[in-house]
């Protein structure tokens, strides 16, 4: 039986949403008048599921359903307000492109910076520099400040360094967004290889349902912070699509 | 690579990148960064040299030392206070410990401080007043002063996350530090109660008069062997309680960034 890498037991995450910017005056005033300055929001509620080694799981749901919060709780960035998260391996997240970059520094400096964020030593980045540049196709912009790159180029750079890491347990949140068609193909090849490997375990959130169906065997559908369905990817995606109405089919295919 | 080694590697790379994006990329940039404290020194010198300067031995050296020490304190507090907010994206999107984001940007003011204190030491040596035996005490004092400054920054950082105007209020009141520390006056020039307030209620005073004494080689009024012991106690208390306060609210800060 495969080893369980991640187990969530009745996990809930509560956020305090402040009604206005907190200032000393507003805090003092609300204390005096006994009116709370915040309202509460359960971003996740009663989430329970397991991730076994080698599984490739898609996370679907509309915007604000709690996908990113679930990833953050699963990784350990956020603490669960209730329930239990048991991890037997570190979950490496890739949420947003450009995270950790210094836009004022050159591409080459940012490669070392990203490498360090993804657990690579300077020597390891040195050894893989050519590969990173070839994959990202940014050889010509090596000494250009990152602020002058387009969002898509930043995405390429980030992804090219990320895949050099040695981790086996990943969380991808909208990773293929922003990439142009050429780079999407490259990413798709990379994902295909990764998805075939029994050593790699992947949690993947995307609005491109076709892509999720290609890569994942299992899917979890989140709705308003709760698990609405957990099962084979085809079935969950079909149910999710149906719930979104006629509009969802073409839109997801287009993306 | 173990997580500890990976975080240490990240800290080193981040420090290098902070230096690279600061003025310290070039010698000219490092010299340019001296302009701020030298300008403050010049203004204070011309205003106070007649009123206070005549009663203080080695006034210009002590004044320059005081300006540098207080500006370092302000810079470290400011950077520590805003470190989490400045690194918001990485804080909420990566598993990197907060300590890495707090420590990495401090490399710039620390290097600036070393260069500026080096300038004071060069002036002291050229005036023939510096004792080489004081170098070790200066190094220990600087480490303790960094702890005190970071501890104060952590307190303010947490408060700033609870109420967004704390940072703004701090910015308004921090210039007062130059006046509530014996930068351009000495403690014996104050009334007894004023001396008591500045000496006992201001943790920076112990550090300031220790720096002035160690660099000028001339005991500043109020300095004794106990002054450095008290400085060490202030540093230990402010840093440890500030860090504990920060750790208590760390996750809450991350969620409200």
ipTM metric: 0.82
Which token pair is B110? 């620390």
pTM (two decimals):
0.87
Q: Give the residue from A54, A8, A58, A13 showing the smallest Cα distance to A210.
A: A58
Partner residue facing B166 (CB), from A21, A24, A105: A24
pLDDT, tens digit, 9 for 90 and up, residues A111-151:
999 999 888 999 999 999 999 998 888 889 999 999 999 88
- Return the ∠ at Cα B22 (arms to B161 and A114), rounded to 5°: 70
Mean pLDDT of A5-26: 87
**What is the pLDDT at residue A255?**
30
**What is the pLDDT at residue B144?**
97
Q: Looking at chain B, which residue has its C-alpha nearest residue A75?
A: B95
Using CA of residue B218, residue B220, residue B226, residue B228, what is the dihedral sign? negative
Contact A105, B82 (CB under 8 A): no
**What is the pLDDT at residue A218?**
94
Q: Give the residue from A168, A244, A215 showing the smallest Cα distance to A2.
A: A168
What mean pLDDT value characterizes chain A?
87
Chain A CB within 8 Å of residue B257 CB: no
**What is the pLDDT at residue A178?**
61
Q: What does the CA dihedral B33, B35, B37, B43 come to, rounded to 10 degrees?
A: -170
DSSP states of B122-141 as a string?
HHHHHTT---TTHHHHHHHH
**What is the pLDDT at residue B143?**
97
Mean pLDDT of A16-45: 84
Mean pLDDT in consecutive groups of 10 residues from the start of chain B, 257 residues:
88 93 79 86 91 88 95 96 88 88 94 92 92 92 97 95 89 91 93 93 95 93 90 97 95 82
CB within 8 Å of chain A, chain B residues 139-178: 162-166, 169
- Is A105–B17 a contact, with Cβ atoms under 8 angstroms apart? yes
**What is the pLDDT at residue A249?**
45
**What is the pLDDT at residue A1?**
56
Q: Give the residue from A187, A249, A225 showing the smallest Cα distance to A62.
A: A225
- Is B17–A113 a contact, with Cβ atoms under 8 angstroms apart? yes
Best mutation target among A77, A145, A174 (most B Cβ atoms within 10 Å) is: A77
**Per-residue pLDDT at A57 exceeds 50:** yes
Q: Predicted confidence band at A176 (pLDDT cuts at 50, 70, 90)? A: low
Strand partners, A60: A221
Q: Which class for A52: exposed (0-12), middle (13-18), buried (19 or more C-beta within 10 A)?
A: middle
Cα–Cα distances (Å) from B183 to A119, A194, B4, B59, B113, in that order, read 46, 63, 41, 10, 16
Q: Which class for B55: exposed (0-12), middle (13-18), buried (19 or more C-beta within 10 A)?
A: exposed
Q: Which SS3 state, helix, strand or coil, does residue B97 take?
A: coil
Chain B residues whose CB is inside 8 A of the A121 CB are: 1, 9
CB atoms within 10 A of CB A197: 12
What HEC string does chain A produce?
A: CCCEEEEEEEEEEEEEEECCCCCHHHHHHHHHHCCCCEEEEEEEEEEEEEEECCCEEEEECCCCCCHHHHHHHHHCCCCCCEEEEEECCCCEEECCCCCCCCCCCEHHHHHHHHHHHCCCCHHHHHHHHHHHHHHHCCHHHCCCEHHHCCHHHHHHHHHHHHCCCCCCEEEEECCCCCCCHHHHHHHHHHHHHHHHCCCCEEEEECCCHHHHHHHCCEEEEEECCEEEEEEEHHHHHHHHHHHHCCCHHHHHHHC
CB within 8 Å of chain B, chain A residues 39-98: 72, 75-79, 90, 92-93, 95-96, 98
**What is the pLDDT at residue A147?**
92
Q: Predicted confidence band at A167 (pLDDT cuts at 50, 70, 90)? A: confident
Chain A residues whose CB is inside 8 A of the B96 CB are: 117
- Is A22–B163 a contact, with Cβ atoms under 8 angstroms apart? yes
Best mutation target among A116, A120, A145 (most B Cβ atoms within 10 Å) is: A116
Which token pair is A71? 């990833």
- Is B1–A119 a contact, with Cβ atoms under 8 angstroms apart? yes
**Per-residue pLDDT at A246 exceeds 70:** no
What share of chain A has pLDDT > 70, as a percent? Answer: 94
Smallest CA–CA distance, residue B11 to chain A, in Å, is 8
**Per-residue pLDDT at A251 exceeds 60:** no
Smallest CA–CA distance, residue A2 to chain B, in Å, is 25
Chain B residues whose CB is inside 8 A of the A18 CB are: 256
- Is B95–A119 a contact, with Cβ atoms under 8 angstroms apart? no
Which residue do the tokens 């990976």 mark? B6
Mean pLDDT of A226-238: 94
Polymer length of chain B: 257
């Amino acid at each position: 039986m495969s080893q369980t890498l991640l187990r969530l037991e009745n996990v809930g995450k509560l956020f305090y949403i402040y009604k206005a910017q907190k200032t000393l005056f507003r805090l003092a005033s609300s204390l005096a008048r006994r009116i709370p300055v915040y309202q509460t929001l359960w971003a996740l509620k009663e989430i329970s599921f397991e991730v076994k080694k080698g599984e490739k799981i898609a996370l679907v749901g509309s915007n604000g359903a709690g996908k990113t919060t679930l990833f953050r709780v699963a990784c350990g960035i956020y603490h669960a307000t209730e329930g239990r998260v048991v991890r037997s391996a570190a979950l490496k997240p890739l949420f947003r492109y450009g995270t950790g970059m210094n836009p004022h520094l050159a591409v080459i400096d940012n490669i070392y910076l990203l490498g360090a964020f993804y657990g690579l030593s300077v020597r390891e980045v040195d050894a893989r520099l050519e590969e990173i540049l070839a994959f990202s196709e940014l050889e010509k912009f090596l000494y250009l400040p990152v602020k002058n790159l387009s969002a898509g180029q930043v995405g390429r750079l980030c992804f090219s360094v990320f895949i050099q890491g040695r981790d086996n347990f990943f969380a991808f949140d909208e990773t293929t967004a922003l990439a142009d068609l050429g780079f999407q193909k490259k990413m798709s090849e990379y994902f295909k290889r990764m998805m075939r490997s029994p050593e790699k375990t992947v949690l993947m959130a995307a609005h491109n349902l076709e892509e999720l169906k290609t890569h994942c065997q299992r899917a979890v559908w989140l709705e308003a912070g709760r698990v609405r369905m957990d099962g084979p990817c085809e079935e969950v995606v079909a149910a999710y699509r149906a719930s979104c109405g006629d509009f969802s089919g073409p839109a997801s295919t287009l993306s | 690579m173990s997580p500890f080694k990976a975080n240490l590697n990240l800290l080193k790379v981040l420090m290098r990148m902070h230096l690279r994006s600061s003025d310290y990329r070039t010698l000219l940039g490092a010299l340019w960064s001296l302009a701020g404290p030298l300008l403050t020194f010049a203004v204070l010198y011309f205003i106070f040299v007649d009123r206070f300067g005549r009663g203080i031995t080695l006034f210009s050296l002590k004044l320059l030392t005081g300006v540098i020490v207080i500006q370092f304190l302000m810079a470290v507090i400011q950077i520590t206070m805003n470190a989490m907010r400045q690194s918001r994206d990485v804080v909420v999107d990566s598993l990197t410990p907060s300590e890495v984001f707090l420590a990495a940007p401090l490399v710039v003011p620390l290097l600036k401080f070393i260069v500026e204190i080096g300038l004071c030491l060069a002036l002291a040596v050229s005036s023939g007043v510096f004792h080489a035996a004081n170098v070790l005490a200066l190094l220990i004092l600087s480490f303790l002063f960094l702890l005190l400054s970071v501890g104060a920054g952590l307190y303010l950082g947490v408060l700033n996350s609870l109420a967004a105007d704390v940072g703004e209020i701090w910015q308004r009141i921090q210039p007062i530090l130059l006046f509530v520390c014996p930068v351009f006056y000495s403690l014996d020039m104050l009334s007894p109660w004023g001396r008591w307030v500045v000496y006992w209620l201001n943790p920076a005073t112990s550090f300031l008069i220790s720096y002035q004494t160690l660099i000028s080689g001339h005991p500043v009024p109020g300095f004794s062997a106990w002054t450095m012991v008290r400085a060490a106690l202030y540093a230990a208390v402010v840093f440890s309680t500030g860090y504990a306060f920060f750790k208590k609210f760390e996750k809450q800060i991350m969620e409200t960034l």
